[in-house]
């Protein structure tokens, strides 16, 4: 079986095509593009919430999109165990819709930052990280103005204790608490991360380190 | 969603009461920027004094910005044709064939004045405007470049302008999801009162489905889409100087604010509609908004147009026809649809939550007729207004280039390491990473990384999605050369773009330009304009590198202090096999370095003179000569050896000459080099002779014999390796020190508070 | 018509990078007795109603549903006359 | 210590894309009688002084020098007690 992936397109999404290209590379077929006003999801193994500026990131990043009709379905699907990967603006959506704890605020440097960063793989026993090794260093780009992860002390302690930090920055580009670059939900099937693995899937893009994430998905979820 | 819903005006006025329809006088004409003679011509064309609304139309259509009245004569010199050119100047953007049935559409535009008033919004709306020029043609935008010029870093306004402009460009480009892949950023006191913000956009369209602004078919509906119209950017002077001052405060024109989110929706909606068969013609509403867009579409088709202005979606209450016609609200487009296609179009725009309104029809009357609540408020002939738009042959005086430098008068070089460090760490020579890291330069997943390096090379490389080809993109101009010798400076801007493309292996195809100058009413400024355009035309001709689009920005001066003549050239090239692309970074140690081209040691007008010796202006001598036949020969040679796979890295020599180029190559990868240079002098190390490249190669003898065969001067320069830059096996400077200087200046300048 | 103002501020304890940067910038401009700066949002709503109690309830509902993020922000609502 | 609040709003007539997007989003959520939404900034300053007149003058100076952009924004200042 090949991976049934869906990429949700919100007004203002702009990494939807990049995500679809990366998923097609590993899935052997094109993912379904899902419009934000859709009220029913097709059967899917993975829902990809892409980066970009949904609704211009006006008001708060991801806030308006989190209330779109399709997000109700995404939340319901996630609760039933469907895997959901939110990258960048997709991570904003996951926190805004309550699928992941905490919030992402303005970068500590106040500037948009687009560059490659080094990440440490914190955990490999999830559908996203099986192709990596514990502690492996990945070079993956970030591109965001609001990627500064914050949560209250209890939440941070819980994330750390329960091993729910997916990746940490080796050189923190945005001031995130505990160098958090990505986190899982309780089951490890929902992952939100600021770096863009879909921008690191072939040497021409400067790194293929993101490919392992998509390969893991294809292997485990299909 | 508004379709044809009527807005109620606060104070309902019937047309005859509107100030807009009162007859104008010559004084009104002059107040709106027309000359007495132009006003007389307007009266003649109308057969009566135009009313104030009509006068507004004449005034914007005949403005320098829309009519190119001072520049037209000189723009005609530019070569605009080549077998690969699909559309030359005259449309929203130029288009060239890039293979695989695809076309690249591209253009550059300035937003200098708005960026000075409000740096963030000025720069942002500049990006928005140039993107619209490109997707109007049916091309999906794939890249943005930005060419920036600021005043003296120590001038009290500069830091704030740099921060605001860069944030604005990023704020818009990042949000619409088009990568900003390259550009320029220079500082000079001549821009203290007048920074330059030029933005270039590049898009890709199917070569056989390019949309134009030529209206066809009387009776076809005229449709307005996008954002609503507000009082943004209505020409301040015009408003203030007419009798329109009741409710003055309320009607004050406002700064244009960009809405990149709406632009993103507009891109998607327009491209979706373009994939159907509904559109006859399409035009974005740029400068002079609805006036120039409707006017141009009708005049290109030889038709008339009738618009019901009360149907225009409006953001504010109480707007009058004059304001609607002259508003420069952003993110709006005008289209002519095929009959009966309104519903198809409306459904798409509704899906993207954008305004859509049928506001008029094409006619065969040849007149532009505007109505307001059913009453005619303007009726002007289109053809005569377009045909008789003024054209001036403004008086000009030729710039006399300074006498050659007396080399003996220059202080001796001293320590080359100090000079190199200074050049690499000067405001102009420093790395612009601080800028491009604030731009999403990777979105869309086609920005190429070669030898481990993305931005910062000679040209940006953008894969043509789904193909094995890539576009190479660059923007170039050396204003200090243009000031000293406009003709040579104009040539050099084109030649440098040609070199920057060639240095990646790409075949240079065509250019766009942005001609930024002071007031054309001063003969010495006009002389700069004439000289620069002559030089550009010669270079384009000689290099087979035609001009397919461009923009002119005049009157860039404050208190009689003009900017340096700045004809920015945006170059586009194509690589047929992207795997053959190279960039400036040394990929490994142990490679040999070969210098291509001839070195005479020209020091006039160099960065060395300016940044190390502090000599500028007439004191700095003439710029280096551009020898076009040699440029072409050397460029062709470099492309051929890259194409044969003989080259591991390549960089052209520009500001700072040989040593700066070698240092930039080393810094890009972190691999050093050791150079052998017989004469260690400022002239040899830092001279800016044109037509030169450094090539790193594992096949030096093949490169040298190919050069010999092609009659191209070439010689071994050194080898790569280590972590320092070493001269003649003697003294060296560590890359770490060079990097500290090169990467240090801009962040420490721009991020400090005072 | 009733005008409601929703004031959204970061919760105490949540780092405010913008406020901090503003404080530094003010200090550089010579405003030396600024102890602390917090930056928030002001959202002004024009509501098509004349019922003040309903307007307030509605504004609070909008704030808690969309305008503020309860994880990091507090809000307050004030009514003005439009 | 005196607390001053600087309210910064876009001038009348200046496009407010954030406010517009928020209004649409509220409508989608079923808040149908929202006529208009404008979004501004609220900057809360804690000033190390007890002189209310001086505090107000200082807050105004900060607003016109840094906190508001006079080209597109208006501001107002209000004093609270900290
Ligand atoms: N404003 C800018 N935006 C993006 N990139 C920039 C900007 N300014 C400079 N750069 C990048 O920095 C590098 C050096 O610029 P420049 O010195 O003008 O190059 P060159 O001399 O090769 O034309 C180029 O890769 C250029 O694209
Ligand atoms: Mg170059």
Which residues on chain C place their C-beta less than 8 Å from a C-beta of chain A? 10, 13-15, 17-18, 21, 65-67, 69, 71-72
B182 lines ligand 1 (CB under 6 A): yes
Spatial separation of the C-alpha atoms in residues B263 and A12, rounded to whole Å: 9
Please tell me the predicted confidence (pLDDT) of residue B246: 41
Does residue B168 contact residue B119 with C-beta atoms inside 8 Å?
A: yes
Nearest CB to A67: which of D17, D28, D39? Answer: D28
Nearest to B448 by CA among B459, B437, B439, B438: B459
Crossing angle between the packed helical segments B657-669 and B416-425, to the nearest 10 degrees? 70
C1-48 pLDDT, tens per residue?
899 999 999 998 898 989 998 999 999 889 988 999 999 999 999 999
Q: How many CA atoms lie within 13 A of B499 on its CB side?
A: 29
pLDDT band at B20 (very low <50, low <70, confident <90, very high): confident
Does residue A174 contact residue A184 with C-beta atoms inside 8 Å?
A: no
Quick check: D76 pLDDT over 70? yes
Q: Ligand 1: which atom is nearest the Cα of residue B180?
A: 4
B681-697 core/surface letters (b: 16 or more CB in 10 A; e: else): bbbbbbbbbbbbbbbbb
Please tell me the predicted confidence (pLDDT) of residue B15: 53
DSSP at A109: T
Quick check: B19 pLDDT over 90? no
B717 to chain A nearest CA, in Å?
29
> What is the three-class DSSP state of B642?
helix
Does residue B645 contact residue B580 with C-beta atoms inside 8 Å?
A: yes
Task: Look up A88 and say whether it is catalytic.
Answer: yes
C-alpha Rg value of chain D to the nearest Å = 16
A151-184 core/surface letters (b: 16 or more CB in 10 A; e: else): bbeebbeebeeeebbbbbbeebbbbbbebbbbbb
Least confident of A95-99, A176-180, B230-234, B674-678: B230-234
Residues above pLDDT 90, as percent of chain B: 82
Q: Taking the mean position of all CA atoms in its chain, how far away is CA B236?
A: 25
Please tell me the predicted confidence (pLDDT) of residue B252: 53
Please tell me the predicted confidence (pLDDT) of residue D4: 95
Please tell me the predicted confidence (pLDDT) of residue B559: 86
Does residue B11 contact residue B318 with C-beta atoms inside 8 Å?
A: yes
- Across the range B660-686, mean pLDDT stands at 97
B500 lines ligand 1 (CB under 6 A): yes
Does residue B225 contact residue B358 with C-beta atoms inside 8 Å?
A: no
Spatial separation of the C-alpha atoms in residues D70 and D68, rounded to whole Å: 6
D42-81 core/surface letters (b: 16 or more CB in 10 A; e: else): bbbbbbeeeeeeebbebbbbbbeebbbbeebbbbebebee
CB contact under 8 A, A206 and B174: no
Please tell me the predicted confidence (pLDDT) of residue B235: 63
CATH for A5-221 is 3.40.50.880
B261 to chain D nearest CA, in Å?
8
pLDDT band at B384 (very low <50, low <70, confident <90, very high): confident
Q: Taking the mean position of all CA atoms in its chain, how far away is CA B268?
A: 23
pLDDT band at B495 (very low <50, low <70, confident <90, very high): very high
Task: Look up A202 and say whether it is catalytic.
Answer: no
In whole numbers, what is the pLDDT of chain A averaged over residues?
96
Quick check: B81 pLDDT over 60? yes
Closest-CA residue of C relative to A153 is C13
Q: Taking the mean position of all CA atoms in its chain, how far away is CA B584?
A: 24
CB contact under 8 A, A59 and D22: yes
In whole numbers, what is the pLDDT of chain D averaged over residues?
92
Quick check: B4 pLDDT over 50? no
CATH label of the domain that carries residue C57: 3.30.1280.10
- Across the range B13-24, mean pLDDT stands at 73
For chain C, the chains sharing at least 3 beta-carbon pairs closer than 8 angstroms are A, B, D
A114-157 pLDDT, tens per residue?
999 999 999 999 999 999 999 999 999 999 999 999 999 999 99
B246-281 pLDDT, tens per residue?
444 444 556 889 999 999 999 999 999 999 999 999
CB contact under 8 A, D18 and A67: no
Please tell me the predicted confidence (pLDDT) of residue B253: 59
B146 lines ligand 1 (CB under 6 A): yes
Please tell me the predicted confidence (pLDDT) of residue A28: 85
pLDDT band at B245 (very low <50, low <70, confident <90, very high): very low
Least confident of A3-17, B285-299, B333-347: B285-299
CB contact under 8 A, A102 and C17: no
Please tell me the predicted confidence (pLDDT) of residue B135: 96
Interface pTM, i.e. ipTM: 0.94
Residues above pLDDT 70, as percent of chain B: 95
B310-339 pLDDT, tens per residue?
999 999 888 899 999 999 899 999 999 999
B39-52 pLDDT, tens per residue?
999 999 999 999 99
CB contact under 8 A, C67 and A59: yes
Nearest to B512 by CA among B567, B463, B464: B567
Tell how far the Cα of B493 is from the centroid of ligand 2, in angstroms.
11
**Dihedrals φ, ψ of B223, to 5°?**
-120, 135
Interface of C with D in 10-49 (CB under 8 A): 19, 22, 25-26, 29, 31, 33-49
Quick check: B123 pLDDT over 50? yes
> For chain A, which ranges sit under pLDDT 70?
1
In whole numbers, what is the pLDDT of chain B averaged over residues?
92
B435 lines ligand 1 (CB under 6 A): yes
Domain that holds residue D56: 2-81
CB atoms within 10 A of CB B736: 11
- Across the range B670-676, mean pLDDT stands at 98
Residues of B with catalytic roles: 65, 111
Measured over the CA atoms of residue B314, residue B317, residue B321 and residue B325, the dihedral's sign is negative
Residues of chain A contacting residue D29, judged by C-beta atoms under 8 Å apart: 67
Q: Ligand 1: which atom is nearest the Cα of residue B655?
A: 21
Quick check: B239 pLDDT over 60? no
Nearest to B267 by CA among A90, A53, A67, A50: A53
Quick check: B1 pLDDT over 60? no
Token representation of residue B709:
């065969």
Spatial separation of the C-alpha atoms in residues B232 and B106, rounded to whole Å: 26
Spatial separation of the C-alpha atoms in residues B128 and B522, rounded to whole Å: 32
- Residue that has been written with the tokens 């958090």 in this structure: A180
B704-709 — which CB contacts under 8 Å span 24+ positions? Answer: B704/B594, B706/B637, B706/B640, B706/B641, B706/B644, B706/B646, B707/B594, B707/B596, B707/B637
For chain A, the distance separating the N- and C-terminal CA atoms, rounded to the nearest angstrom, is 6
């Amino acid at each position: 079986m090949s991976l049934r992936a869906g990429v949700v397109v919100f007004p203002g999404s702009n990494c939807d095509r990049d995500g679809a290209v990366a998923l097609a590379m590993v899935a052997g077929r094109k993912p379904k593009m899902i419009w934000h006003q859709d009220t029913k999801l097709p059967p899917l193994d993975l829902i990809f919430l892409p980066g970009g500026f949904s609704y211009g990131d006006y008001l708060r990043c991801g806030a308006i999109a989190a209330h779109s009709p399709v997000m109700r379905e995404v939340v319901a699907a996630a609760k039933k165990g469907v895997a959901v990967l939110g990258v960048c603006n997709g991570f904003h959506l996951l926190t805004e819709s309550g699928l992941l704890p905490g919030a992402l605020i303005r970068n500590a440097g106040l500037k948009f930052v687009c560059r490659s960063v080094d990440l440490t793989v914190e955990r490999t026993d999830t559908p996203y990280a099986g192709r990596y090794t514990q502690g492996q260093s990945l070079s993956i780009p970030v591109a965001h103005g609001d990627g500064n992860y914050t949560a209250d002390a209890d939440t941070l302690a819980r994330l750390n204790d329960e091993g729910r930090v997916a990746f940490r920055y080796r050189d923190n580009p945005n001031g995130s608490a505990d160098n958090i670059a990505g986190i899982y939900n309780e089951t490890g099937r929902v992952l939100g991360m600021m770096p863009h693995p879909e921008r690191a899937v072939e040497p021409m893009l400067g790194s293929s380190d993101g490919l392992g994430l998509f390969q893991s998905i294809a292997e485990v979820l299909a | 969603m508004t379709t044809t819903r009527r807005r109620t005006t606060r104070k309902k006025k019937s047309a005859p009461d509107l100030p807009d329809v009162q007859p104008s006088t010559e004084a009104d004409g002059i107040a709106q920027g027309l000359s007495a003679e132009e006003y007389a011509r307007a009266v003649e064309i109308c057969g009566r004094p135009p009313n104030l609304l009509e006068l507004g139309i004449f005034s914007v259509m005949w403005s320098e910005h829309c009519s190119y009245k001072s520049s037209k004569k000189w723009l005609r010199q530019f070569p605009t044709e080549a077998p690969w050119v699909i559309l030359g100047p005259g449309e929203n953007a130029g288009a060239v064939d890039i293979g695989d049935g695809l076309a690249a559409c591209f253009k550059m535009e300035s937003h200098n004045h708005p960026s000075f008033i409000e740096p963030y919004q000025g720069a942002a709306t500049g990006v928005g405007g140039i993107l619209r020029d490109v997707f109007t043609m049916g091309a999906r935008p794939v890249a943005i470049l930005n060419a920036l010029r600021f005043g003296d870093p120590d001038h009290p306004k500069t830091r704030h302008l740099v921060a605001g402009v860069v944030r604005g460009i990023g704020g818009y480009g990042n949000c619409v999801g088009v990568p900003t892949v390259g550009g320029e950023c220079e500082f000079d006191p001549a821009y203290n009162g007048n920074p330059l913000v030029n933005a270039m956009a590049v898009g890709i369209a199917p070569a056989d489905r390019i949309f134009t602004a030529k209206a066809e078919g009387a009776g076809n509906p005229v449709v307005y889409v996008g954002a609503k119209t507000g009082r943004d950017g209505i020409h301040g002077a015009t408003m203030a100087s007419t009798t329109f001052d009741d409710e003055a405060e309320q009607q004050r024109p406002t700064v244009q604010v960009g809405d990149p989110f709406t632009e993103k929706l507009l891109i998607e909606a327009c491209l979706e509609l373009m994939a159907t068969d509904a559109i006859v013609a399409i035009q974005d509403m740029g400068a002079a908004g609805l006036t120039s867009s409707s006017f141009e579409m009708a005049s290109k088709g030889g038709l008339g147009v009738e618009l019901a202005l009360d149907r225009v979606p409006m953001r504010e209450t109480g707007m009058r026809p004059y304001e609607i016609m002259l508003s420069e609200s952003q993110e709006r487009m005008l289209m002519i649809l095929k009959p009966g296609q309104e519903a198809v179009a409306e459904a798409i725009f509704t899906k993207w939550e954008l305004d859509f309104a049928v506001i008029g029809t094409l006619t065969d009357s040849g007149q532009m007729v505007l109505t307001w609540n059913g009453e005619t408020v303007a009726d002007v002939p289109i053809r005569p207004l377009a045909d008789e738009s003024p054209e001036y042959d403004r008086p000009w005086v030729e710039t006399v280039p300074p006498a050659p430098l007396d080399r003996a008068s220059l202080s001796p070089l001293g320590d080359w390491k100090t000079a190199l460090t200074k050049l690499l760490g000067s405001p102009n020579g420093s790395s612009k990473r601080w800028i491009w890291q604030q731009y999403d330069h990777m979105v869309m997943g086609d920005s190429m990384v070669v030898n481990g390096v993305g931005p910062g090379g000679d040209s940006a490389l953008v894969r043509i999605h789904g193909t094995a080809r890539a576009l190479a993109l660059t923007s170039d101009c050396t204003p200090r050369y243009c000031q000293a010798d406009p003709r040579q400076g104009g040539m050099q801007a084109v030649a440098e773009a040609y070199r920057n493309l060639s240095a990646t292996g790409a075949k240079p195809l065509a250019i766009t330009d942005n001609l930024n100058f002071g007031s054309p009413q001063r003969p010495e400024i006009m002389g700069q304009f004439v000289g620069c355009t002559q030089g550009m035309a010669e270079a384009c001709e000689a290099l087979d590198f035609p001009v397919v689009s461009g923009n002119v920005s005049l009157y860039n001066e404050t208190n009689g202090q003009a900017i340096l003549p700045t004809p920015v050239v945006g170059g586009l090239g194509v690589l047929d096999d992207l795997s053959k692309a190279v960039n400036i970074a040394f990929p490994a140690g142990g490679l040999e370095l070969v210098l291509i081209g001839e070195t005479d040691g020209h020091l006039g007008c160099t960065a060395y003179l300016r940044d190390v010796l502090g000599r500028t202006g007439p004191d700095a001598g003439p710029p280096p000569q551009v020898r076009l036949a040699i440029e072409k020969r050397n460029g062709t040679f470099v492309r051929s050896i890259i194409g044969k796979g003989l080259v591991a890295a390549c960089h052209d020599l520009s500001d700072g000459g040989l040593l700066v180029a070698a240092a930039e190559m080393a810094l890009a990868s972190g691999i050093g080099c050791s150079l052998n240079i017989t004469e260690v002098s400022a002239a040899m190390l830092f001279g800016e002779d044109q037509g030169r490249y450094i090539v790193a190669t594992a096949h030096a003898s093949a490169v040298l014999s190919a050069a010999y065969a092609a009659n191209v001067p070439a010689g071994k320069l050194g080898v790569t390796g280590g972590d320092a830059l070493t001269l003649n096996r003697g003294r060296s400077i560590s890359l770490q020190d060079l990097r500290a200087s090169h990467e240090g200046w801009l962040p420490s300048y721009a991020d400090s508070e005072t | 018509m009733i005008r409601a103002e929703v004031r959204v501020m970061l919760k105490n304890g949540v780092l405010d990078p913008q406020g901090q940067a503003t404080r530094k910038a003010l200090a550089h401009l010579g405003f030396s007795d600024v102890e602390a700066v917090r930056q928030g949002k002001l959202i002004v709503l024009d509501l098509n109603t004349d019922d003040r109690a309903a307007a307030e309830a509605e504004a609070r509902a909008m704030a808690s549903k969309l305008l503020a993020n309860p994880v990091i922000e507090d809000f307050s609502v004030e009514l003005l006359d439009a």
